[in-house]
Amino acid sequence: MTNRPRQLPVHAMMIVLSVLALFPVYWMIVTALKPETEIFSTALWPKAPSLENFGYVLEAIPMLRILWNTALMASATAAAQVLTGLLAAYALVRWPFPGVKLAQAVIGLSWLVPFQVTMIPNYVLATELGLRDTIAGLVIPNAAAAFAVIVFYNAMRSFPKEVIEAARMDGAGASRILWQIVAPNMRPALAALTVLAFISAWNEYFWPLLLTRHIENAVVQIGLEMFMSQEGNQWGPMMAAATLASLPILALYLVLHRQIIDSFMRSGLK
């Protein structure tokens, strides 16, 4: 409050950055509203905005079905990563064994293994298990994530040991302590991780591309691809589909944004 003049350049900078971040989103929506004739115009608003691209998308591909598939896949992936992450981190924090440091290092390193390395074995395995063209096939390889384990490990390590001991004195067993004492105090980490895992699953492209055979079983990133072709891209419908694909993410963010910001602020302050 007292140094208002000095805040001015800071605010100006933030406004510029926000515009830079938001402009592509704005352009996506505007392009989706443009009729075919205007598609390459650089005007900031179409002369004759219309929803025809959206109509086309819904006819050309089973878009609602695809959105549903994606939501299912992304929710299941996020839930699985949270669950496995919580369990693994809890075990590492509560029962440190000789070599626990090594185990952590290995978990951390697995995060750095590129997808291309595991792609073929995963594909072979998924095929053998009959998981091609299924949601389960999309979820299972991503059900455990090193990132989730690391995030929860750090959150739990700073959770006071005495509180866990108090619960042990109260007669609570290991799993009751995890679900009734530890997890409820991990809310910021849980929210942040859920969102990150959900978004990254939502944006998944290569693995679904490998696994999907039929458009009814596809996820949105595959759906978007339908509007790209050798003869040229159908920009209007593609942007309409992209807009539809972004809405659920936006909704998720609006619901959880307080916890997310909270969590990022906290990890930034450490």
Partner 1 sequence: MAAIELAGIEKRFGESHAVRGVDLAIASGEFVVILGPSGCGKSTLLRMIAGLEAVSAGTVSLDGVPMNGVEPGRRGCAMVFQNYALYPHMTVAENIGYGLRVAGVPKREREARVRSTAAMLDIETLLDRRPAALSGGQRQRVAMGRAMIRNPRVFLFDEPLSNLDAILRQQMRGEIKRLHRELRTTSVFVTHDQVEAMGMADRLVVMNAGRVEQVGPPADVFRRPASRFVAGFIGAPRMNLIDAAVTAEGTLAVGGWRPCDGLRFRAAAGRAVHLGVRPDALAPMPPAGGGPVFTADLVEDLGTEIHVHARGEGIDLILQRHADAPPIDTSFAVAIPPRAVHLFDAETGLRIEPDAAETLRQGAPAWDARRHSSI
**Nearest of 189, 199, 203 to residue 85 by alpha carbon:** 189
CA distance 152 to 174: 17
Q: What angle do CA 249, 71, 20 make, to 5 degrees?
A: 20
Task: Tell which one of 176, 213, 257, 258 touches partner 1 (CB under 8 A).
Answer: 176
3-state helix, strand, coil in the chain (%, to 5): 75, 0, 25
Q: What angle do CA 48, 49, 53 make, to 5 degrees?
A: 120
Check residue 169 for interaction with partner 1 (CB under 8 A): yes
Instruction: Give the nearest distance from C-beta 195 to partner 1 in angstroms.
Output: 21
CA distance 261 to 81: 20
Instruction: Give the nearest distance from C-beta 187 to partner 1 in angstroms.
Output: 8
| Max Cα distance, the chain (Å) | 73
Check residue 162 for interaction with partner 1 (CB under 8 A): yes
Q: Which stretch binds partner 1 (CB under 8 A): 6-14, 18-26, 81-89, 178-186?
A: 178-186
Q: Which stretch binds partner 1 (CB under 8 A): 104-112, 179-187, 202-210, 234-242?
A: 179-187
Check residue 98 for interaction with partner 1 (CB under 8 A): no
Angle between helix axes 187-202 and 235-269 (nearest 10 degrees) is: 160
CA distance 83 to 104: 18
Task: Tell which one of 28, 87, 181, 199 touches partner 1 (CB under 8 A).
Answer: 181
Q: Which stretch binds partner 1 (CB under 8 A): 18-26, 36-44, 163-171, 204-212?
A: 163-171
- Residue closer to partner 1 by CB (options 134, 154) is 154
- Residue closer to partner 1 by CB (options 5, 160) is 160
Check residue 101 for interaction with partner 1 (CB under 8 A): no
> Please, which residues have CB within 8 angstroms of residue 228's CB and are 6 or more apart in sequence?
234, 238
Check residue 184 for interaction with partner 1 (CB under 8 A): yes
The 115-154 contact track toward partner 1, x by CB under 8 A, reads ----------------------------------------
Tokens of 30: 């505007």
Q: Which residues of 200-215 are buried (b: 16+ CB within 10 A; e: fewer)?
A: bbbebeebbebbbeee
- Residue closer to partner 1 by CB (options 124, 174) is 174
Cβ atoms of 260 and 191 within 8 Å: the answer is yes
Q: Which stretch binds partner 1 (CB under 8 A): 30-38, 86-94, 156-164, 238-246?
A: 156-164
- Residue closer to partner 1 by CB (options 47, 258) is 258
Check residue 268 for interaction with partner 1 (CB under 8 A): no
Instruction: Give the nearest distance from C-beta 39 to partner 1 in angstroms.
Output: 53
Check residue 15 for interaction with partner 1 (CB under 8 A): no
CA distance 205 to 81: 18
For partner 1 (CB under 8 A), the number of binding residues is 16
